[in-house]
Amino acid sequence: MAEKQATRDAYGKALVALGAENTEIVVLDADLSKSTKTADFAKNYPDRFFNMGIAEQNMIGTAAGLAAAGKIPFASTFAVFATGRAFEQIRNSIAYPKLNVKIAATHAGITVGEDGATHQAIEDVAIMRALPNMTVLVPADGEETRQAVYAAAKHHGPVYIRMGRLDVPLLFAKDYRFEIGKANIVREGKDAAIIANGIMVSKALEAAAELSSSGIEVSVVNVASVKPLDQETIIRVAAECGAVITAEEHTIIGGLGSAVAEVLGENRPTPMLRIGLKDSFGESGRPLELLEKYGLTKDEIVKAVRAVMERK
Amino acid sequence: MTTTEIKHMANVIRQDIIKMLVPAKSGHPGGSLSAADIVAALYFKVMRVKPEDPQWPERDRFVLSKGHAAPVLYAALAEKGYFPKDELWGLRQTGRMLQGHPDMKNTPGVDMTTGSLGQGLSAANGMALAGNLDHKDYRVYVVLGDGEMAEGQVWEAAMAAAHYKLDNLTAILDFNGLQIDGTTDSVMSSAPLPEKWKAFGWHVLEVDGHDIEGLLQSLAEAQAVKGKPTILIARTVKGKGVSFMENQVGWHGNAPSTEQAEQAIRELEEEAANLG
């Protein structure tokens, strides 16, 4: 499918639809509503939108209070500020009391592009995954984002949703089913498995197609629900394929790659390689050029698959 | 409750604080004792709550932003009947309900989890916003510490409360002048606090935090103020009611020994006898 949409755009649209269905939904933003795409919700439901100004800690704390009084707040800003600037507010005012707040963060990863490393969250999944009570979702495309937003609203408890700025291919049709805690096998093969999420799912599928033309058939598993993690599917696919690659637009420390390594290390040791940022920050540049520079490409996945298959 | 009865209740709360800290062997007596009159006035006169239905949607909310003063809140909740008083003697002990800092998930009557300073006012703002959205007339009360004034988030929240005209919110600053490392003036000057809060768009009332009548009057005035939040800057004495703890920075976070507790209780009983 050639059509593209940024997950943040899908978020903005989903929020408007959700807001019509459920009047308990409220939205907070920290002066970035045009970028996070909460501006449409603000236009449609001005009474239920709170611009908190450039004050992320207070935004998160206010969301906690709204949730304590029965609302379902979606708090949005860039991922680096949501999870970094307001980390301890998320920890003590949301995760520990298990309040029903959805932290919907956009501009995750190096595909933020030109703004550079200060604005590119590369560690947010690791940070959020470490928190008890937190659900962590990294949707791959517009449709999955829409479903993740709805699932988050339905789930009672804290949820972190990670979204991007860049337009990415639409991968899934309306009949696709996203579920919290479930991985989706989007392509099947027995030679190796690529476990990916976010923008790396489309790259994994491209890599799988290229490998197929040279006779290597790989499974592609989309793990949008990083926490809770679908351990059963990951163990089963690893057992069937005997070699695993993970691919994420995030540091390889603490994110999807680590989560998969933890599960396989304890349950089914399997030759494995992780694709992601190799313990480095990003930099300014065009998003696609940065993906090339930092090795988040189809070609790198193909190379990693061939390398890990050698170790079977 | 009459003013005299509230004074007696504050005295009982102070005795509970001392008694619960002995078996706990740790905790924060100074800032709990300084807030006892404020908390007694709120829970036993001002706030509309139903101890038999802690989640009653119409209830007034209370946020103890200075969460280390948890003993004063626990004592008030126990005296109010939210949970058996015996729970107080299990404070800070493994497997027991009462955590070192307030935990809304496990303690009936605790409306917000606090403990990390600077976060309570934001949560109170959120509750007040929700009350407005739902057209409910409940009020939100938040007790802040003066050491906490150094937290930037407090001022983010102060700005937001005025921006959103949260006149259903009343903050009470327990202005006891001491924090862990010394006087608030020596550690990090926050003066002039009344002017700062005024400049942030709040209605500011200065009050003696141990004068029940004055507190009740100010809390009533706060309810009548429209279009802006109100803060009571309540002058208090850290360790109030126990001679050897009053204005002593060393009693911020130390539990009394059994002997010290006995002396403290004797003094408080004496005070109660003089209350009439």
Instruction: Tell whether A174 is covered by a domain.
Output: no
Interface contact A96-B113, CB threshold 8 A:
yes
Average pLDDT rounded to a whole number, residues A171-191 = 97
Q: Does B61 touch chain A (CB under 8 A)?
A: yes
The dihedrals phi and psi of A228, each to the nearest 5 degrees, come to -65, 145
Residue A151 structure tokens: 């699932």
Q: Is the predicted pLDDT of residue A231 greater than 90, yes or no?
A: yes
**For residue B230, what are the β-bridge partners?**
B170, B203
The residue with tokens 């949703």 is A161
In terms of CATH architecture, what is B3-274? 3-Layer(aba) Sandwich (3.40)
Q: Choose, out of A26, A49, A58, A74, the residue to mutate when testing the contact with B (most B CBs < 10 Å).
A: A58
Which among B199, B197, B200, B208 is positioned nearest to B231, based on CA atoms?
A: B197
Q: A133 pLDDT band (50/70/90 cuts)?
A: very high
Instruction: Tell whether A175 is covered by a domain.
Output: no
Interface contact B125-A62, CB threshold 8 A:
yes
Residue B237 structure tokens: 């004495």
- The pLDDT, as a whole number, for residue A135 is 99
Task: Tell me which residue range forms the domain holding A194.
Answer: 184-309
- The pLDDT, as a whole number, for residue B163 is 98
Encode pLDDT of A117-127 as tens digits.
999 999 999 99
Q: Is the predicted pLDDT of residue A2 greater than 90, yes or no?
A: no
Instruction: Tell whether A177 is covered by a domain.
Output: no
* Average pLDDT in chain A: 98
CA distance B180 to B198: 27
The residue with tokens 């983010």 is B156
Average pLDDT rounded to a whole number, residues A225-230 = 98
Q: What is the dihedral of CA B58, B166, B104, B10, to 10 degrees?
A: -80
**Residue B83 DSSP label:** S
Residue pLDDT tens, chain B, 276 long:
999 999 999 999 999 999 999 999 999 999 999 999 999 999 999 999 999 999 999 999 999 999 999 999 999 999 999 999 999 999 999 999 999 999 999 999 999 999 999 999 999 999 999 999 999 999 999 999 999 999 999 999 999 999 999 999 999 999 999 999 999 999 999 999 999 999 999 999 999 999 999 999 999 999 999 999 999 999 999 999 999 999 999 999 999 999 999 999 999 999 999 998
- Do A297 and A255 lie in one domain? The reply is yes
Residue A56 a catalytic site member: yes
Are B89 and B98 in contact by the 8 Å Cβ rule? The answer is: no
- Listed as own residue / partner, the contacts of A30-34 with beta carbons closer than 8 Å and 24 or more positions apart are A30/A54, A30/A55, A30/A56, A30/A59, A30/A76, A30/A77, A30/A81, A32/A76, A32/A77, A32/A78, A32/A106, A33/A76
Buried b (16+ CB within 10 A) or exposed e, A129-160: bebeebbbbbbbbbbbbbbbbbbbbeeebbbb
Is residue B141 within a helix (H) or strand (E), and if so which, with residue range? strand B140-145
Q: Which of A142, A169, A196 is the last residue of a domain?
A: A169
Are A283 and A290 in contact by the 8 Å Cβ rule? The answer is: yes
The residue with tokens 């327990």 is B174
Which among A67, A69, A33 is positioned nearest to A49, based on CA atoms?
A: A33
Q: How many domains does chain A have?
A: 2
Q: Which of A104, A136, A169 is the last residue of a domain?
A: A169
Are A246 and A274 in contact by the 8 Å Cβ rule? The answer is: yes
Which among B63, B11, B28 is positioned nearest to B170, based on CA atoms?
A: B63
Interface contact A97-B113, CB threshold 8 A:
yes
Give me the residues of B, 127-186, that contact A with CB < 8 A: 127-131, 133-134, 152-153, 156-157, 159-160, 163-164
CATH number at residue A154: 3.40.50.970
Encode pLDDT of A4-50 as tens digits.
999 999 999 999 999 999 999 999 999 999 999 999 999 999 999 99
CA distance B39 to A289: 60
Are A200 and A275 in contact by the 8 Å Cβ rule? The answer is: yes
Instruction: Tell whether A248 is covered by a domain.
Output: yes
CA distance B5 to B176: 24
In A137-180, which residue ranges form alpha helices assigned H by DSSP? 142-154
The residue with tokens 């949560």 is B123
- Do A164 and A248 lie in one domain? The reply is no
- Do A21 and A150 lie in one domain? The reply is yes
- Do A8 and A115 lie in one domain? The reply is yes
- Do A205 and A109 lie in one domain? The reply is no
